[in-house]
Structure 1
Amino acid sequence: MSTATRAAPARTGTGAGQEGPGGGALTGTGVLLRFALRRDRVRLPVWLAAVLLVTFSSLQQATDLAPDDPAEAADTAATLGGPAMLAMTGPEHYLADPTPAAVLSMLTLGYAAVLVGLMSVLTVVRHTRADEETGIAELLRSGVVGRHATLTAALATAAAADAVLGLLLAVLLPSVGLGGATVGGALLYGAALTTVGLVFAGVAAVAVQLSSHGRTASGMALAAVGAAYALRAAGDVGPDALAWCSPIGWIQRGYPFADNRWWPLLPALALAAGTAAAGYLLSTRRDVGAGLLPPRTGRATASAALTHPLGLALRLHRGLCAGFGAALLVLGAMYGSLLGGVEDMLADLDEVRAALTEAGGTLVESFASTVLLIVAVVASLFVVLVALRPRAEETAGRAEPLLATGLSRSRWLASHLVAALGGGTLVLLLGSLSMAVTGAAATHDGDLGVRLLGAGLAYAPALWVTGGAAALVYGWAPRAAPLAWAVPAYGFAVGYLGKLLGLPDVLGDLSPFGHVPQLPAAELRWTPLVLLTLVAAALVAAGLAGFRRRDLDPK
């Protein structure tokens, strides 16, 4: 007697964006959210600490800029109300009643909004498009996971970080004893940053649907952050309508600790909801791992340069190099144009003047040496990004086929390090050149322009040490590769904020940027530059040695 057996229906996965049996579009969101928070348990607190540092490091400066004497307050308003300061800070209306809290909001809200935007963008891209590139998303969707669960979990992670930041500021600001820091103003200040974070999380949700590469998606979303800040700056100096085209301009016109207007947050919330909804809609019109924008068709045959590891590395990093080069050209031009008005801008800020001129030189030279550090730190971000690219190639499984050929490990990794160190020097040169040209024009001093160019290039050995540190961590402990970001972050904290906060000089000695002579204010000393170069060479050699001795770590 034969028996007929009916096979049980196979469970359908969600690799193509379909829901599992009985599941909805959001099935599995809670699990993915907990997984994302677990992965970012260190990254997000560091971001939150950075935003809090930007705000609270300016408390004393805000107090000094808002004296009780009406005559001194008028001088402060005249100083902060100049076009250069308005472009760097916020709208002039804050100065109508310049309490310390209102001045703090004017000084820090725009910068904090940029940091929150960066945090939200990178968080959403990390848990969506980056996971699709590495295959994690496809693996997750093979289970019972709804088509919108991944994007929802990423947005919820960013929103949770934004909300925690807003609550921390709302609680801490009224408790520091800052004049005019009311509870209502603190709530608005925190809500403004939470709202702008949601806006850029939504922008990132759209960007990850357009491009099939995480780096491109991040670039598009971060360009939106930069455009929002630029529109805000243009509107504060020129036509006010330009600032109303920017979500950063909207939240600043809530005037926390001044007018305490909540309604400017409404268009920002509407934009956040609209961009998030657009991200969900666009996600249904593409396959997992693909982007809506078609990839550019390449040449039928590869160029001769791509047959060599260095040529391939340069090809992989040329887009990033172009983006950083353009950004530093703009940044250098902006800072250089301010040099002609430094004396007036800092006329009544005695403590800031004293901190800047501590290394010697004129006030203009000291200010230039300080902002050149910012240019160098931004260039070092490029160095770290490129130096850690081999980690992404390794975990994505693209390095193993290359190394299975006659290509040695040392040559492969060295090609990326050459691109990192050489490209970093190039973008540093572009930023320094831009600042030198505009600075010479603003001060009518051609000799200053030449010295500014040399002062910028003096930071090249510090960039090389940064790249060497990234190579060392990647070579010996690849899972700890994110620690390489501590070098530029620490260098900025002690080099730029340390002057204003009066931090001990010994802290600056722990940063490679702290050993660079503060040109053009100080005298050129070759010894620290040579030692930094030797340290960089030793770190690179140690990183190469470590990479040769360990196993690959594909995911």
Structure 2
Amino acid sequence: MRETLAGTGMLVRLGLRRDRWLLPVWVLGFALVAYSTAAAGAGLYPDERSRVEAANALNATASIVAMFGRIYDPSSLGALSLIKYTAFMTAVLAVLMVVLIVRHTRADEESGRLELLGGGRLGRDAPLAAALLIGLAASLAVGLLSAAALTAGGLPATGSLAFGLGWTATGMAFCAVAGVAAQLTASARAANGLSVGVIAVTYGLRAVGDLAEPGPSVLSWLSPIGWNQQIRAFAGDRWWVLVLPVALCILLIPAAFSLRARRDLGAGLRDERPGPAVGSLTGVWALAVRLQHRVWVAWAVAFVVFGVVVGSLIGNVAEMLSSPNAQDMVKLLGGASALQDAFLAAEISVMGLLAAAYGVTAANHLRGEETAGHTEALLGTATTRSRWASSHFAFALAGVTVLMVLTGVSIGVGAALAVQDAGLIGRAMVASLAQIPAAWVLTSVALAVFGWVPRLAGAVWGVLLAFVALGEFGVLWNAPGWLMDLSPFRHSPLLPVGADSVPDLVALTAVAAGLAALGYFGWRRRDLAP
């Protein structure tokens, strides 16, 4: 056993060095979100009566229960304030842990890095052990720091610790899931897809189980995300539920090591299906579509489902603001229609951020193809550099555009069916289209970084997170106006979208075009980078 784990410590240090920026951003980001939510909750719900009314309205809305779960103590400020974080943000944390584990296992095998390191004294199980140690430590850091942040935000320390440990245990459980998936598949993309599929299924089981009356049903207890909700932080603090995700770790981690012993380096236990004997691709444009269309379809399905669900909530928006001051403010703004526009604008802006994330993912495929050596082979033919780069970049831009079109249609249809107002479809569509130029800017940033400093392709995610943080917390941080104006999303118009928004949209499109031109210029001048 000692021989198979030789070099684990070295790989842990190497992994922490590679993620010296990524991991702190993740950990601090979760803690910051927890603190800001806790601090804002007391102002939104100043007394028990307002909390009970808001919680009952949320529990009575099936679509909200399906998305976020139930509030088990309507009088609890913590349970009400953190309703979005017991399920939805837990799923986000699970995805991040999956990406982390696959990055240090299957992705390193696929790139040949582990084969190179294996030329020294490196045990067979060391990469998996190192990845799991990093993932488990990151989960613990997220949980403990978030618990401290919730306490600093004014919530009870006991409930804060229960909530934080719930995040920790769930993150650890999905680290183990990713560890198993990395042994079953032969590529990082397949491992990520399998693990995220497990997350989606567990989220769906929780949603169906929470909708049962009186709830939750047995389906919620089959889901690790459902377990996190059943800890019921700030609503009874059921500590014994933490045993369930820990037990899952104890079961899956040895299974992952056992599966690792049954396969060769670079191979997976599940064989990949061979393609057809005769290919039908006619050029790099068709190749780009072939490489990226499945991922895009998955994003599109998620956008449509989320859009319909979010749109259907519009009929309950007025009930969510039970504070008399909030209702008076709505009347001053223009009544229920203004509140509906504000709700749709907020949700569409979130979808715009997600579309930008897709754009970055699709554009960064250029870097993945280059490091895999595929670009060198293609450029050895008559294919030009610009044509090859354009195939993936154009797919990214088109993908962002169609995703936002689907957003407008799905949210508009869901809202129109909820309140019997067909005009909401047009308003939602216009607002969704107005988010496209900002998402294009981030996609073009990815191309510019690829053209000049390809090794920093992953840093584009940091740029996106910085823009999101400025939008969410810039006012709380008293950030200067010029700094907040750096975010393209700040210049995206919200509902109602009028003619005065056209100059901003033209400016954002021009910035995206300029960044793209800069990226093409750098790509034509530099050598291929490993």
- Residue pair 2:451, 2:522 contacting (<8 A) in 1 also: yes
Identity across aligned pairs (percent)?
39
Q: How does 1:49-128 map to 2 (within 5 A)?
A: 49-68=28-47, 70-83=48-61, 84-95=63-74, 97-98=75-76, 100-128=77-105
Counterpart CA distance in 2 for 1:546 and 1:353 is: 55
Q: How does 1:405-424 map to 2 (within 5 A)?
A: 405-424=381-400
Q: Secondary structure at the match of 1:58?
A: helix
One-letter code of the match for 1:77?
A: A
One-letter code of the match for 2:433?
A: L
- Residue pair 2:45, 2:51 contacting (<8 A) in 1 also: yes
- Residue pair 1:356, 1:499 contacting (<8 A) in 2 also: no
Q: Secondary structure at the match of 2:123?
A: coil
- Residue pair 1:382, 1:424 contacting (<8 A) in 2 also: yes
- Residue pair 1:470, 1:481 contacting (<8 A) in 2 also: yes
1:271-309 CA deviation, whole Å, 9 max, x = no partner? 122222222222222221122222222122221xx3311
Change (3 A) 1:461 1:169: closer
Does residue 1:135 correspond to 2:135, yes or no?
Answer: no
1:132-152 CA deviation, whole Å, 9 max, x = no partner? 111011112222222211111
- Residue pair 1:173, 1:186 contacting (<8 A) in 2 also: yes
2:353 to 377, 393, 397: 377
Give 1:339 shift. Answer: 1.2
Q: Secondary structure at the match of 2:516?
A: helix
- Residue pair 2:4, 2:125 contacting (<8 A) in 1 also: yes
Counterpart CA distance in 2 for 1:325 and 1:545 is: 32
Q: How does 1:504-523 map to 2 (within 5 A)?
A: 507-520=483-496
Q: How does 1:270-285 map to 2 (within 5 A)?
A: 270-285=247-262
Does residue 1:324 correspond to 2:299, yes or no?
Answer: yes
Change (3 A) 1:351 1:127: farther
1:376-407 CA deviation, whole Å, 9 max, x = no partner? 11111111011111111212222112222222
- Residue pair 2:53, 2:322 contacting (<8 A) in 1 also: no
Change (3 A) 1:189 1:357: farther
Change (3 A) 1:392 1:286: same
Counterpart CA distance in 2 for 1:250 and 1:224 is: 15
Change (3 A) 1:460 1:120: same
Root-mean-square deviation (Å): 2.6
Counterpart CA distance in 2 for 1:356 and 1:399 is: 58
Counterpart CA distance in 2 for 1:426 and 1:62 is: 36
Counterpart CA distance in 2 for 1:311 and 1:385 is: 19
One-letter code of the match for 1:407?
A: T
Counterpart CA distance in 2 for 1:204 and 1:150 is: 13
Gaps of 5+ in 1: 1-18
One-letter code of the match for 1:553?
A: A
- Residue pair 1:469, 1:539 contacting (<8 A) in 2 also: yes
1:214 to 178, 188, 191: 188
Change (3 A) 1:175 1:454: closer
1:313 to 280, 288, 292: 288
Change (3 A) 1:145 1:328: same
2:151 to 162, 174, 180: 174
Give 1:354 shift. Answer: 5.6
Counterpart CA distance in 2 for 1:152 and 1:359 is: 58
Q: What corresponds to 2:202 in structure 1?
A: 228
- Residue pair 1:368, 1:520 contacting (<8 A) in 2 also: no
Moved more, 543-552 or 83-92: 83-92
Does residue 1:338 correspond to 2:310, yes or no?
Answer: no
1:6-56 CA deviation, whole Å, 9 max, x = no partner? xxxxxxxxxxxxx9xxx6221111111111111111100111122112211
1:199-231 CA deviation, whole Å, 9 max, x = no partner? 111111122122212122112212222333333
One-letter code of the match for 1:337?
A: S
- Residue pair 2:50, 2:322 contacting (<8 A) in 1 also: no
Q: What corresponds to 2:12 in structure 1?
A: 33
Q: What corresponds to 1:398 in structure 2?
A: 374
One-letter code of the match for 1:330?
A: V
Q: What corresponds to 1:237 in structure 2?
A: 211
Change (3 A) 1:71 1:532: closer
Q: What corresponds to 1:530 in structure 2?
A: 506
Counterpart CA distance in 2 for 1:499 and 1:370 is: 16
One-letter code of the match for 1:424?
A: V
Change (3 A) 1:505 1:437: farther
- Residue pair 1:356, 1:367 contacting (<8 A) in 2 also: no
Does residue 1:458 correspond to 2:437, yes or no?
Answer: no
One-letter code of the match for 2:43?
A: D
1:97-147 CA deviation, whole Å, 9 max, x = no partner? 42x334334343334312321221111000011111110111122222222
One-letter code of the match for 2:183?
A: Q
1:303-353 CA deviation, whole Å, 9 max, x = no partner? 1xx331111111111111111111111111121111121111233385699
Give 1:524 shift. Answer: 6.2
Q: What corresponds to 2:140 in structure 1?
A: 163
Does residue 1:541 correspond to 2:517, yes or no?
Answer: yes
- Residue pair 1:387, 1:471 contacting (<8 A) in 2 also: yes
Change (3 A) 1:77 1:383: closer
- Residue pair 2:30, 2:146 contacting (<8 A) in 1 also: no
Moved more, 367-376 or 266-275: 266-275
TM-score (norm 1): 0.88
One-letter code of the match for 1:323?
A: A
One-letter code of the match for 2:241?
A: P
- Residue pair 1:388, 1:470 contacting (<8 A) in 2 also: yes
Counterpart CA distance in 2 for 1:211 and 1:356 is: 56
Q: What corresponds to 2:171 in structure 1?
A: 197
- Residue pair 1:356, 1:366 contacting (<8 A) in 2 also: no
Give 1:370 shift. Answer: 0.8
One-letter code of the match for 1:192?
A: G
Moved more, 85-94 or 185-194: 85-94
Counterpart CA distance in 2 for 1:404 and 1:448 is: 52
One-letter code of the match for 1:237?
A: L
1:484-508 CA deviation, whole Å, 9 max, x = no partner? 1134323433445668999776554
Counterpart CA distance in 2 for 1:326 and 1:492 is: 24
Counterpart CA distance in 2 for 1:51 and 1:538 is: 34
Q: Secondary structure at the match of 2:289?
A: helix
Give 1:520 shift. Answer: 3.7
Change (3 A) 1:172 1:440: closer
Change (3 A) 1:261 1:171: same
Q: What corresponds to 2:446 in structure 1?
A: 470
Moved more, 51-60 or 438-447: 51-60
Change (3 A) 1:413 1:336: same
One-letter code of the match for 2:292?
A: H
Counterpart CA distance in 2 for 1:367 and 1:407 is: 47
Moved more, 407-416 or 498-507: 498-507
- Residue pair 1:174, 1:186 contacting (<8 A) in 2 also: yes
One-letter code of the match for 2:180?
A: V
Change (3 A) 1:489 1:175: closer
- Residue pair 2:366, 2:392 contacting (<8 A) in 1 also: yes
Change (3 A) 1:53 1:356: farther
Give 1:435 shift. Answer: 1.4
